[in-house]
Structures are given as C-alpha cells and as structure tokens.
Amino acid sequence: MLNDATHFGWISRLIHWAMALLILSLLVLGTKLANIQPGLATLWLYGLHKTMGLTALALVLIRLIWHRISPPPAPLGPPNAWETRAAKAVHHLTYVLLVLIPLAGWVYASASGLDIVFADRWVIPPIAPVSEAWENAGLLAHSVLTKLLMGVLVLHVAGAMRRVVQRDGTLRRLTLG
Amino acid sequence: MRLIPILALMLCATPALAAPEVYHLQPELSSVGFETDFGPDKVNGTMPVTLADLTLDFAHVGASKVAVTLNAAGADASFPFATQAMRGPKVLDTAEFPEITFVSTKVQPDAQGATVLGNITVRGVTRPTSFHAEIYRQQGAEVGDLSHLTIRLTGAIQRSTFGAVGWHDMVGDEVRLNILARIERAN
C-alpha cells in the first residue's frame, strides 16, 4: 500500500492511472463542449464535466496529501541529468495545473450564477461572486491553462515513452509496483 | 374551456354596453406562458400574473385600456437550470426587478381581435411593444354575460433590448409571450 524508496504502493498507482483516465476523458469532453451547440439533449454533459472536474481536483489533492504521508520513490536515473530535472519540472507543473484548472472552472461556473451540482445530486457552494468579469476571467483561465496542460501532458507521455524505449523500469514500477 | 370570441360584440355594441367597464384580474385563473429558443430546442415556462386592470369600452374599442403586472420572480421554466438562469442577474434579475409591467397606450381593433400598443418594462427598462388581443366569454357564461371574461395577449419581445443578454450564445433573443388573464367586472 505504502510507497518506499524504490517502489510505488498500490494507492499511488491507482490514483495515477485513475487520474490519467479521468483527465483524458475531461480533455475530450471539454473540447467537445466547447464546440457543440448547447441544447436539451446535451445539457447533461455540462453537469458531467463539472462532476468529473471536481473529482479530478479531489484526486489531485488526495494524491498530494498521500505523497506527504507516503513519499514516492525518487525518479530513476542520475539526479542531475537534464532528463531527470526536466521530468521533475513537468511533474510539478502538472500538479499546479491540475489544481488551477478545476479551480478556474469552479470560478467560471460560480460566477455564472447557476448551481454547480455534483453527480446530479449535491449542490456545491460557489467560490466566486456572480459577475460577468469573474465569469470571463474564470473561463479564460480555464481555457488557457487547459491548453498548457495538453502541452505538458505531451511532454510527460513523450518522457514516459523514452523511458519505455530505454527499458529503465519506470513504467513497470508504475503498473506492477 | 369554451372560448367564444366577442370581438363582434365589441364592434357592434348595444347601448347597454356603451359605458366603459372596469375589470379586475382573477389571479388564480391567470398565467403567462413564454417560450424561447435553446439551441435546436425550445425552453418554455410560466409566470404568474400579479395584476391586470382593464377598462373595456365595447362601444369605442380604441378607448379601452390594459395594465398588466407579471411576477417575474415567480417564473418557472421547463427545467431547473433554465429557471435559475432566467431569474438570475444575467437575464431578468428578479432580485432587483421582481415585476414586469405592461401599460397600453392605444388599442386598435382588427379583424382577428385587436392590437394593443403600449409600453413594457423589463429589468427597469421601458420599451414600446404591441400585443395581439382576443377576448372571450368564460366557460359557462351566458351569451351576453360580460361579467367574467378571458383576455389573451400574444406577442414577442427581444430580451437584449432590455439588457437581458445572459447566455445569448445559447438562448434565443426573442421571447414569445402568451398572457392569459381571466378577469371579472369590478361591480
């Protein structure tokens, strides 16, 4: 369950892959929502996006807390190699974006004045005043940061693929422990 | 309800009907239906009528007067998000402007009923508009009994002209109104 100096425990692995799946789904859904004409038939997709986004925010916070409780192993490879430093930078930026993007979406939804309903059941409190300025700022931040995340994830996956080609064991310890 | 147009009666009034008559609203029997476009679909709903004072002059239809007040804060749309959006500050802003009012300035009889010209106030902004009006005897009323009437006002407004511009990229600008006011003679 716990991480150690060389292995990821199953909780860290589960959170990693659950978030990977969730974030990929959110990117696809969010891109679709930005390009469709809203209507009664598609209204539920907006609620689904909010529910998934809040879940992703909860997961990243749980992950950060969990890594405090059970620190993950250090990256494989020489600590001062540019690849290792680049990987760390990408990881840190990913965490920052995974917190900021749902928060920006939450601000955007709050400022619209409409209820934010989680799982079609629970109303989530607003975190911004009902205001066109807040709404526009929230949407802009959500959109720009998401595009930045897409770029960062490309780097993350490219780095992971490089490690797969090098057979350094990173992917194995993130899947099998 | 059996609706019997009494336009002909209005246009061919007998001396007994010559005096203008004051009517008041029967609020529990009255409502406003509205409809607008939402993408490929329609959003519709209802809004209570708070007040409707009418002076109907069956001898000189043009001298008739209509004043209607709607309870915007009590509006309900066909799904919860639409209700919240409509009442919110980006559309009707009912916290600040809980009522919509219409006061006629001119009534012009025509072949199908009458055209009621007047001023409508939404979000504190007053703009001229017009409604098509039809008047009927209420169900069960005897022929010639004008003590209880139904007036239907139909028309449309462009919400953007009142500053109600929220969700303009999703929701249509034209709002079609169908006011059904049941009224009774004051005395």
Tell me the pLDDT tens digit for each residue of B68-120. Answer: 999 999 999 988 889 999 999 999 999 999 999 999 999 999 888 899 999 99
Query: Is B96 part of the contact surface with chain A (CB cutoff 8 Å)?
Result: no
Chain A CA closest to residue B165: A132
Q: How much is the pLDDT for B24?
A: 92
Element holding A146 (H helix, E strand): helix A132-166
Instruction: Write the residue in A39, A113, A114 that is nearest to B38 by C-beta.
Output: A39
Strand partners, B109: B114
Residue with tokens 């003590």: B147
Q: How much is the pLDDT for B14?
A: 42
Tell me the pLDDT tens digit for each residue of A47-85. Answer: 999 999 999 999 999 999 999 999 999 888 887 889 889
Q: Mean pLDDT across chain B, nearest whole number?
A: 88
Spans in chain A with pLDDT lower than 50: none
pLDDT band at B18 (very low <50, low <70, confident <90, very high): low
- What average pLDDT does the segment B2-19 reach? 47
Contact across the interface for B90 and A42, Cβ inside 8 Å: no
Spatial separation of the C-alpha atoms in residues B133 and B116, rounded to whole Å: 7
ipTM for the complex? Answer: 0.72
pLDDT band at B1 (very low <50, low <70, confident <90, very high): very low
Q: What one-character-per-residue DSSP string does B32-84 give?
A: EEEEEEETTEEEEEEEEEEEEEEEE-SS-GGG-EEEEEEEGGG-EESSHHHHH
Tell me the pLDDT tens digit for each residue of B148-177. Answer: 999 999 999 999 999 999 999 889 999 999
pTM attached to this predicted model: 0.82
Contact across the interface for A39 and B81, Cβ inside 8 Å: no
Instruction: Write the residue in B84, B90, B170 that is nearest to A38 by C-beta.
Output: B170
Spatial separation of the C-alpha atoms in residues A99 and A136, rounded to whole Å: 19
Residue of B79, B81, B87, B92 for testing the chain A interface, max A β-carbons within 10 Å: B81
